[in-house]
Structure 1
Amino acid sequence: MMKILYLIPARAGSKGLPGKNTKLLGGKPLILYSIDFAMKNINKGDELCISTNDKDVLTIASDLGIHVPFKRPEELSSDIATSYDVIMHAIKYYEENNKYFDLVFLLQPTSPFRSQQDFENLIQSYDEDVEMVVSVKKAKENPYFTLFEENEYGFLDRSKRGNFQRRQDCPDVFAYNGSMYLMNVNALKSAKLHEFKKIKKIIMPEERSIDIDTMADWVLADFYLNKQ
């Protein structure tokens, strides 16, 4: 059985929505949605790692009896630190302590809505030829139709050339929704995330694809939560 490192990255210092990881959504700290989801699915041999420098997140984890193995270094908690840096830091920490994993399952606390079926679809889509399985939503904007780039003359060109008269005739395009990333550890050691070539997707609906970055996102998440 494959061993999975469940990794929840939760740095302090959000500029778009300060304190969002511990802000109450439906009476529950935002990060708790991801912690509860991980705890529901974790198996023997797996590990939950909350990578954070946020003292409020550390308090929540402590109150739940969750061991946080390290406080995330400040150089990995800045605006310029990448998800890849955070993932590799966690893998290295565990390997230095003789714990090895086959997969990393990244759960972003800013995406609180996941169903059990989403998780099962993700796990079933993974095989050893895959570098990553990622959750996506169908994108409304389409590079064949509604996305443009400025050319050297200052005019707009379609981002992708095609001869489509209607948007619904264009190929489907997908956007990462930020919710779930299941990554092969060996692949992570040999390439950065943006260099991955063998990526599979699972599609999640719009109402479970909220990625909270601003107050507008928060209001929308609250709306979907109350609608459920």
Structure 2
Amino acid sequence: MKNIAIIPARGGSKRIPEKNIQLFGGLPLLVHSIQYAVANSAFIDAIYVSTDDPTIKAIALAYGAKVIDRPDHLSGDLEPTLTAVQHVLGNIGFEVENVILLQPTNPLRPPNLLKDCLEKFQNEKVDSLFTVTQNHQKFGKITSGTFVPFNYEIGQRSQDLEPLYFENGLLYITKAKSILENKIITKNAFPYLVNHIFAHVDIDTKEDMEYAEYLIEKVSRPRST
């Protein structure tokens, strides 16, 4: 197969218990990433959910994904996403060319994002691509009770800041061979810029969930004429 999507969704979560199956927009959180992959089936040959949780497994199967049972030793709080993705590649029984990584904690994505990212990935001839968003805030550190600016000088206007970017987690595309060499983001990774409100949604806390609920309601609300 050329492209497969992998959605890592373990059962444990500290800040939001059973986060991946909490209802969001009327559906379990995990389902939004599965549905996004299904909607992009023109570019994805198969969809896999990696999980250690029987409830997540049942939900994933019900919504059209295949499931790879993740062993306990790859499901701890400190276990990196990389090992879960490698485990999927080692247990599907065939070789693939590219992996599209979709995190369930990023349930909102622009509809054409995957299509555009795949085109850029292929045109740039890189080993991986990941999505980024520009930051417009003034950052600093507090050292010995004193605030020390990091990316600006006191009094500098925000619009004059040197651009900084953050990894927003919307999606990753990586050659399978690079993942097996322990890299999701490779040295030649292409940073794909996403200027969209969805890029600021990464659900880790209840406040994140509430903000995402606000956005999905706003987007789905009919416009008045």
Q: Check the 8 A contact 1:138/1:172 in 2, yes or no.
A: yes
Report whether the alignment pairs 1:148 with 2:140: yes
Report whether the alignment pairs 1:104 with 2:114: no
* Cross-structure match for 2:61: 62
CA distance in 2 between counterparts of 1:57 and 1:170 reads 44
Q: Check the 8 A contact 2:174/2:184 in 1, yes or no.
A: no
Superimposed CA distance per residue, residues 123-143 of structure 1 (whole angstroms, 9 cap, x where no aligned partner): 1210363122112222233xx
* Cross-structure match for 1:172: 163
Q: Check the 8 A contact 1:136/1:175 in 2, yes or no.
A: yes
Matches within 5 A, 1:49-88: 49-64=48-63, 66-68=65-67, 70-88=68-86
Letter aligned with residue 72 of structure 1: R
* Cross-structure match for 2:197: 206
Letter aligned with residue 69 of structure 2: K
Letter aligned with residue 183 of structure 1: T
Q: Check the 8 A contact 2:127/2:188 in 1, yes or no.
A: yes
Change (3 A) 1:66 1:187: closer
Aligned-partner SS, 1:49: strand
CA distance in 1 between counterparts of 2:36 and 2:103 reads 11
* Cross-structure match for 1:130: 126
Where do 5+ consecutive residues of structure 2 fail to align? 220-225
1:149 to partner: Cα distance:
3.8
* Cross-structure match for 2:46: 47
1:208 to partner: Cα distance:
4.6
1:192 to partner: Cα distance:
2.8
CA distance in 2 between counterparts of 1:199 and 1:132 reads 6
Change (3 A) 1:87 1:66: closer
Cα-Cα RMSD: 2.5
1:43 to partner: Cα distance:
4.4
Q: Check the 8 A contact 1:121/1:202 in 2, yes or no.
A: no
Change (3 A) 1:155 1:59: same
Letter aligned with residue 17 of structure 1: I
Change (3 A) 1:166 1:66: closer
Percent of pairs with identical residues = 28
Letter aligned with residue 15 of structure 1: K
CA distance in 1 between counterparts of 2:43 and 2:170 reads 23
1:48 to partner: Cα distance:
1.0
Letter aligned with residue 49 of structure 1: Y
1:52 to partner: Cα distance:
0.6
Change (3 A) 1:212 1:82: same
Where do 5+ consecutive residues of structure 1 fail to align? none
Change (3 A) 1:85 1:204: farther
Change (3 A) 1:26 1:161: closer
Q: Check the 8 A contact 1:111/1:209 in 2, yes or no.
A: no
Letter aligned with residue 128 of structure 2: M
* Cross-structure match for 1:6: 5
